[in-house]
Amino acid sequence: MDDYEDENLDDSLEEEYEEDSLDEDEDESLEENELDDSEYETNDVSTNVDSGNSFSYNQNPLDRLNNFKQDINNIKERLNNKNVIDNNKHVNKDTGVNKKNDLDNDKNKLDKKDGLDEKDKLKDKAKDAAADKTKDAATDKAKEGVTDKAKDAAADKAKDAAADKAKEKVAEKAATEAAGKAAASKVGMAAKIKVLLWAILIMFIVLIIAAVIVAIIYSIISIFSGEDTGESSVTETTAYNELSQVEYYWPIGSEETTEENGIIYAKGKPISTTITSNYGYRIHPVSGKRKMHNGVDIGGLGGYGNANVIAAKSGVVVKVVTGCTSGGNKSCGNGLGNYIQISHADGKYTVYAHLHQNTITVKKNDRVYTGEVIAKAGSSGNSTGTHLHFEVRTNATTRTNPLDFIDANNTRPSTFNYSTNY
């Protein structure tokens, strides 16, 4: 705003200076014109004098003198006027000079002012330049600060990225270690299970070996002592009463056998036997658990395959199970081993179990007769020694106490017709 006002002031002063110069030029021109006019007038005077306009030789001397004086006065007046004009011109010239000086002074002042203004402008420019430089420095510093911040941010970001990567590596390592531990745990668990299974298998084998050893020992004891160990209620056959007569014959026959019509009978006196386990609940000699015993066990029969097993009553064979071995698989034949089931005319059934292998002489649907040898006693199935497990059933599945139907003292009459007693 100040620069604009200074420029307007400079313009006004220059215009005034130009006007004064024009006035001075006009005064000089006027002065020249007036001088020209004076010269013209002087010429006119001289002309008039020379021409005799002021006086005439024809006039009287007094008139001519007056005219001449008048002319002199006119000339003086004109000279005075010229002096006035000259004075005025000098005054105007001095005034113009003064004005010119004033204008020069003003111009000098303006120049000085312009110089000062220029200096101020330079100062202002210097200030502006300094301000711009300061601003640029501040901007550069701000940029540097921004750059530093950006660098710091980038460094922080890189650090964070490195930290995240390190965390990921730690997490991956932890996951790998966890997976390794899990795999090791699984492997360890599998190894433990494997060891446990091997231990169970070894224990089972040891138990089987122990059971076999016990069975062998029991068989040896049974052979030499005639006892069926672990069983209860011992009843020993002490006599054979030929006068007694029962419906069912004792299922153990005599040592002697006879053959009639191609059938082998053991019709003599039964060998001495022992009931080693009665019908009813008992402690099972193998499992050691209390369990229902559905028949009677007849022991004291010597080794495997010695004693003759006979049909207690005539009937028809309805079932024969073979393939088991004495002292072998205890689950064979559902624990009964090799056995025979006979159906009788009175609706009852008799069962003969734990028979020795390869000694059964009958097959399903065969008709059998009382006293007929059907097998040899053994220890097949779930058995601890040589004996005969004998059952009487009121139907195909319902058991009853066999001692209600058989007796060790029952009669073996010599005239008994085995072939017709059915």
pLDDT of 417 reads 47
Confidence of residue 115 (pLDDT cuts 50, 70, 90): low
Instruction: Measure CA 348 to chain center.
Output: 72
Confidence of residue 111 (pLDDT cuts 50, 70, 90): low
Confidence of residue 262 (pLDDT cuts 50, 70, 90): very high
Q: Where is pLDDT greater, at 145 or 23?
A: 145
178-187, 271-280, 318-327: least confident range:
178-187
pLDDT of 42 reads 42
Percent of the chain with pLDDT over 70: 69
Is residue 324 within 8 A of residue 353, CB to CB? The reply is: no
2-16, 129-143, 258-272, 406-420: least confident range:
2-16
Confidence of residue 183 (pLDDT cuts 50, 70, 90): confident
pTM higher than the cut 0.75: no
* Residue-wise pLDDT tens digits, 136-175: 777 777 777 667 777 777 778 888 888 888 888 888 888 8
What does the pLDDT average to over 339-347? 94
User: Side chain identity at 342, as an amino acid letter?
Assistant: I
9-18, 64-73, 120-129, 156-165: least confident range:
9-18
* Residue-wise pLDDT tens digits, 195-220: 889 999 999 999 999 888 887 886 66
User: Side chain identity at 183, as an amino acid letter?
Assistant: A
What does the pLDDT average to over 253-270? 89
- Whether residue 297 is predicted with pLDDT greater than 90 in this model: the reply is yes
What does the pLDDT average to over 230-239? 32
pLDDT of 145 reads 67
What does the pLDDT average to over 403-418? 64
81-95, 217-231, 388-402: least confident range:
217-231
Q: Where is pLDDT greater, at 125 or 376?
A: 376
- For residue 6, the SS3 value is helix
Nearest Cα to Cα of residue 378 among 400, 358, 403, 395: 358
When the pLDDT of each residue in the chain is averaged and rounded to a whole number, the result is 75
- Whether residue 269 is predicted with pLDDT greater than 90 in this model: the reply is no
User: Side chain identity at 220, as an amino acid letter?
Assistant: I
Q: Which two tokens stand for residue 418?
A: 């085995």
Q: Where is pLDDT greater, at 386 or 55?
A: 386
Residue 65 sits at φ, ψ, to 5 deg, of -70, -40
Q: How many CB atoms lie within 10 A of CB 102?
A: 15
Separation between Cα atoms, residue 411 and residue 247, nearest integer Å: 10
Confidence of residue 406 (pLDDT cuts 50, 70, 90): confident
Is residue 269 within 8 A of residue 414, CB to CB? The reply is: no
Separation between Cα atoms, residue 356 and residue 305, nearest integer Å: 6
pLDDT of 229 reads 33
Separation between Cα atoms, residue 275 and residue 389, nearest integer Å: 10
pLDDT of 77 reads 81
Q: Could you write out the three-class secondary structure of 355-386? A: ECCCCCCCCCCCEECCCEEEEEEECECCCCCC
| Burial per residue of 341-375, b for 16 or more beta-carbon CB atoms within 10 angstroms, e otherwise | bbbbeeebbbbbbbbbbebbebeeebebbbbbbbb
48-52, 186-190, 284-288, 336-340: least confident range:
48-52
pLDDT of 224 reads 47
113-117, 212-216, 267-271, 367-371: least confident range:
113-117
Nearest Cα to Cα of residue 301 among 246, 242, 253: 253
Confidence of residue 323 (pLDDT cuts 50, 70, 90): very high
- Whether residue 36 is predicted with pLDDT greater than 60 in this model: the reply is no
Angle at 136 between CA 135 and CA 139, to 5 degrees: 85
Percent of the chain with pLDDT over 90: 26
215-219, 223-227, 267-271: least confident range:
223-227
- Whether residue 389 is predicted with pLDDT greater than 90 in this model: the reply is yes
Beta-bridge mates of residue 118? none
